């Protein structure tokens, strides 16, 4: 069984890299007491004898289906629906999308041409009507579907979507299932201005570095130095999951926009909780530890001590500010329109649909 699954996963990574990536989060368990398969949140139970009846393409479809179901239920779209019907509607919608992307749908799967290119919600309405079920009855057992609140998982999905949308490898029709978020800010323009300001401060940096001109990036040729960019994320109790997800999306956009310098990510509430240095284009893996009050002073002391040139601070600006003007560029990316004692501000919309 393990060998078949490994081959199927490898096939997904080669032919459908987006699904190959999200399948890595599936917990696959052998269960020969069930007839075929059972999907419960991030757990996929499989009867090994049933697995032997399928070819590798069909096994790949099962894995892709299960991984996308996990992703779909994370959005809590089925929270107010009859669980068993919502599970079936999701299956029909996902299998249709997989079919449109060239997958071979296994026998006995929930798949029908009459649900061609429909959203799970649309299919759900059809099934509810046909089954003559009271849609208000949402108290039935949720054994078949697990809705999971996991910020780390949401961040992982955001990164996968950003990565594969840039390379054009997102599956056709994926927008039916996940909210594809994009950066709301033109970080290339903003950071280029930061760099220009840095150059004006220190004329020793000329001439410019020609290494990245072919990418349209003009960087200073710093003698033995490099631009040191610090990014702080406010993880205090006043920052909800929606805001954190927006912050992470923007940091990911910054990291993907430039391949010329390192970024130091600082996670903090009333004190610094974690500091991680990232190489250009490296995957973002924040810990998001916090939940306390907000005090900006610890971060500013650190940034000043280690001679960073720029600080981008994601916050709601509800906290204790330093009582002095820092000697480095500061950009506040805020969840609401408010006044800061120094630096520039940008307001982003952190509301989810």
Q: What is the pLDDT of residue 83?
A: 83
The answer to which of 28-42, 131-145, 201-215 has the lowest mean pLDDT is: 201-215
| pLDDT at residue number 87 | 84
Same domain, 152 and 289: no
- Choose one of 158, 173, 188: the last residue of a domain: 173
**Residues 240-249, mean pLDDT to the nearest whole number:** 85
Q: Can you give the pLDDT at residue 281?
A: 60
Residue 184 Cα distances to 19, 72, 246, 350, angstroms: 26, 23, 9, 10
316/312 Cα distance (integer angstroms): 13
Average pLDDT over residues 260-280: 87
Q: Determine the pLDDT at residue 134.
A: 67
Looking at the structure, do residues 143 and 62 belong to the same domain, yes or no?
Answer: yes
Residue 215, in any domain of the structure? no
CA distance linking residue 250 with residue 253, whole number of Å: 5
Tell me the CA distances in angstroms from 73 to 40, 85, 147, 167, one per residue in order: 10, 13, 6, 26
Domain annotation covers residue 213? no
> Among 173, 193, 213, where does a domain finish?
173
Q: Which comes out higher in pLDDT, residue 327 or 213?
A: 327
To the question of pTM greater than 0.75 for the whole model, the response is no
* Domain span holding position 27: 2-173
Residues 22 and 149 in one domain: yes
The reply to whether 209 falls in a domain is no
In which band, very low, low, confident or very high, does the pLDDT at 186 lie, cut at 50, 70 and 90?
A: low
Q: Looking at the structure, do residues 165 and 66 belong to the same domain, yes or no? A: yes
In a domain, 314, yes or no: yes
Tell me what pLDDT residue 332 has: 94
pLDDT at 270 over 70: yes
pLDDT surpasses 50 at 127: yes
Shared domain check, 133 and 12: yes
Q: What is the average pLDDT across 159-181?
A: 67
Give the model confidence (pLDDT) of 217-228 as tens digits: 444 443 434 567
Residue 266 in domain = yes
Both 101 and 245 in one domain: the answer is no
Q: Any alpha helices (H) in 75-119, and if so which ranges? A: 83-100
Q: How confident is the model at residue 326 (pLDDT cuts 50, 70, 90)?
A: very high
Q: Are residues 157 and 297 in the same domain?
A: no
Max distance between CA atoms of the chain, in angstroms, equals: 77
Residue 184 belongs to a domain:
no
Which H/E stretch holds residue 241?
A: helix 241-257
**Least confident interval from 173-177, 275-279, 323-327, 339-343:** 173-177
Number of domains the chain is built from:
2
Regarding whether 165 and 236 lie in a shared domain, the answer is no
Provide the residue count of the chain.
353
Within a domain: 111: yes
* Domain identity same for 7 and 152: yes
Q: Is there a contact between 333 and 247 (Cβ–Cβ < 8 Å)? A: yes
User: Would 191 be classed as within a structural domain?
Assistant: no
Same domain, 11 and 156: yes
Q: How far is CA 209 from CA 119, 157, 206, 220, in A?
A: 50, 35, 8, 5
240 and 339 both lie in a single domain: yes
Q: What is the CATH number of the domain that holds 249?
A: 3.40.50.410
Average pLDDT of the chain is: 78
* Boundary (domain end) residue, out of 156, 173, 190: 173
* Residue 56 or residue 156, greater confidence: 56
The answer to whether residues 130 and 67 belong to one domain is yes
């Amino acid at each position: 069984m393990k060998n078949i699954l490994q081959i199927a996963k490898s096939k997904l990574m080669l032919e459908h890299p987006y699904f190959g990536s999200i399948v890595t989060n599936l917990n696959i368990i052998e269960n020969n007491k069930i007839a075929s398969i059972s999907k419960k949140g991030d757990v996929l139970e499989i009867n090994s004898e049933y697995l032997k009846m399928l070819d590798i393409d069909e096994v790949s479809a099962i894995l892709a289906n299960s991984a996308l179901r996990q992703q779909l239920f994370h959005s809590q779209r089925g929270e107010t629906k009859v669980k068993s019907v919502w599970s079936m509607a999701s299956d029909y919608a996902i299998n249709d999308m997989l079919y449109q992307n060239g997958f071979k749908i296994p026998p006995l799967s929930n798949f029908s041409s009459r649900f061609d290119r429909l959203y799970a919600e649309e299919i759900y309405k059809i099934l509810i009507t046909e089954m003559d079920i009271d849609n208000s009855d949402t108290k039935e057992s949720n054994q078949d579907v697990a809705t999971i609140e996991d910020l780390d998982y949401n961040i992982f999905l955001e990164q996968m979507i950003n990565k594969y949308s840039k390379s054009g490898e997102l599956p056709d029709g994926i927008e039916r299932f996940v909210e594809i978020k994009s950066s709301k800010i033109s970080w290339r323009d903003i950071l280029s201005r930061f760099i220009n300001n840095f150059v004006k401060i220190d004329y020793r940096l000329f001439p410019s570095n020609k290494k990245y001109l072919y990418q349209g990036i003009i960087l200073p040729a710093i003698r033995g130095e490099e631009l040191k960019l610090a990014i702080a994320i406010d993880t205090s109790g006043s920052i909800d999951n929606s805001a954190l997800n927006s912050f992470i999306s923007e940091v990911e956009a910054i990291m993907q926009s430039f391949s010329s310098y390192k970024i130091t990510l600082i996670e903090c509430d009333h004190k610094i909780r974690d500091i991680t240095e990232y190489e250009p284009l490296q995957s973002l893996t924040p810990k998001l530890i916090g939940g306390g009050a907000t005090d900006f002073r610890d971060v500013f002391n650190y940034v000043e001590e280690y001679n960073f040139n720029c600080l981008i601070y994601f916050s709601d600006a509800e906290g204790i500010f330093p009582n002095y003007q820092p000697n480095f560029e500061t950009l506040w990316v805020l969840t609401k329109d408010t006044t800061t004692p120094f630096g520039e501000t940008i307001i982003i919309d952190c509301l989810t649909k």
